[in-house]
């Protein structure tokens, strides 16, 4: 398997500009990795980084699109400080994407900014929720009908700890392995889930198949152990970018990471044929988000 990591030497967002090779790599599911491009925290901000900063009732600390902070334990001054630095990270992430991918502008929708202070290894989760297993991202309750999940990650560990990922096979290879095992889509079932508010809107066949890939990968322990993959160590002070709905990935260890999600509208890519929707449509030979699925 060819390396799924594209290393870029820029040390500041201002040094970046559009590069067709990087764009094609990203849209094929590879990870753009910036080992020298980090996010600067002031000393007093770094001092706030500790596991107990997260409200134990919340999985992560998040800043929503309207600037509301959730999941942080602490007094007003701490809340204000963390809100401010998460806002700076949001701006830096948006500028990074704007410089790398100017064609995406006006096609992006802002999602929450996340701060993850807990150790990956300490999480106790079901197999379906265990992100230490290779997977592509898909949302059980939020159908997206081909909208893309573009994510910017930064390791801000104050003591230099690494974030360790496994990165797996290209999306089409994954799809060819797990599509034959997928349960058939049933429109009546999708309508029932929507009527019961299990899903926020009608689950299209595309959303169904993405969930089948996600669950099929995580369920298959032989695939987890033996499929082609590489281990990647992201040091403190580094940044990486990928489409998490397309990049086969698993977070194995690490602590103190920030992440910005941006949703790219379906068809907004430079090369739509390389997207999960484009690939799954070609492999199945039918429309997966058409009027019939919305029916």
What pLDDT score does 294 carry?
39
Q: Which residue has the tokens 């799809």?
A: 175
DSSP 8-class letter at 66: T
Name the strands in the sheet holding 249-253, side by side, starting at the edge strand that comes first in the sequence: 230-234, 163-167, 249-253
User: Do residues 144 and 267 lie in contact, with contact meaning Cβ atoms separated by under 8 Å?
Assistant: no
What pLDDT score does 292 carry?
45
What pLDDT score does 125 carry?
74
CA distances from 35 to 138, 166, 179, 239 (A): 27, 17, 35, 6
Backbone dihedral angles phi then psi of residue 173, each to the nearest 5 degrees = -65, -45
What pLDDT score does 19 carry?
97
Nearest to 111 by CA among 161, 56, 162, 152: 152
pTM of whole model > 0.75?
A: yes
User: Do residues 101 and 113 lie in contact, with contact meaning Cβ atoms separated by under 8 Å?
Assistant: no
User: For the chain, percent helix, then strand, then coil, each to nearest 5?
Assistant: 35, 20, 45
What pLDDT score does 295 carry?
37
- Residue numbers in the chain where pLDDT is lower than 70: 121-124, 291-295
Tokens matching residue 80: 């204000």
């Amino acid at each position: 398997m060819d390396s799924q990591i594209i290393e870029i030497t820029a040390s500041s967002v201002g040094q970046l500009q559009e590069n067709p090779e990087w764009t094609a790599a990203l849209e094929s599911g590879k990870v753009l990795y910036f080992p020298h491009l980090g996010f600067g925290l002031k000393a007093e901000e770094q001092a706030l980084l500790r596991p107990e900063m997260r409200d134990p009732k919340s999985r992560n600390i998040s800043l929503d699109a309207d600037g509301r902070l959730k999941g942080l334990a602490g007094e007003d001054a701490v809340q204000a400080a963390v809100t401010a630095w998460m806002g700076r990270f949001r701006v830096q992430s948006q500028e990074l994407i704007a410089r790398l991918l100017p064609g995406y502008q006006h096609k992006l929708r802002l999602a929450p900014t996340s701060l993850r202070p807990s150790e990956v290894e300490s999480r106790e989760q079901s197999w379906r929720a265990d992100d230490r297993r290779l997977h592509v991202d898909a949302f059980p309750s939020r159908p997206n009908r081909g909208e893309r999940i573009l994510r910017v990650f930064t390791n801000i560990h104050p003591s230099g700890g690494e974030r360790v990922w496994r990165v797996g096979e290209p999306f089409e290879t994954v799809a060819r392995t797990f599509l034959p095992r997928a349960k058939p889509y049933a429109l009546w079932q999708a309508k029932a889930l929507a009527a019961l508010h299990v899903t926020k809107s009608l689950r299209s066949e595309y959303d169904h198949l993405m969930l089948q890939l996600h669950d099929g990968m995580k369920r298959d322990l032989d695939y987890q152990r033996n499929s082609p993959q590489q281990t990647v160590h992201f040091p403190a002070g580094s940044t990486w970018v990928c489409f998490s709905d397309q990049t086969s990935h698993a977070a194995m260890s690490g602590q103190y990471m920030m992440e910005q999600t941006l949703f790219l509208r379906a068809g907004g890519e430079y090369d739509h044929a390389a997207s999960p929707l484009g690939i799954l449509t070609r492999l199945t030979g039918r429309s997966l988000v058409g009027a019939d699925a919305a029916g």
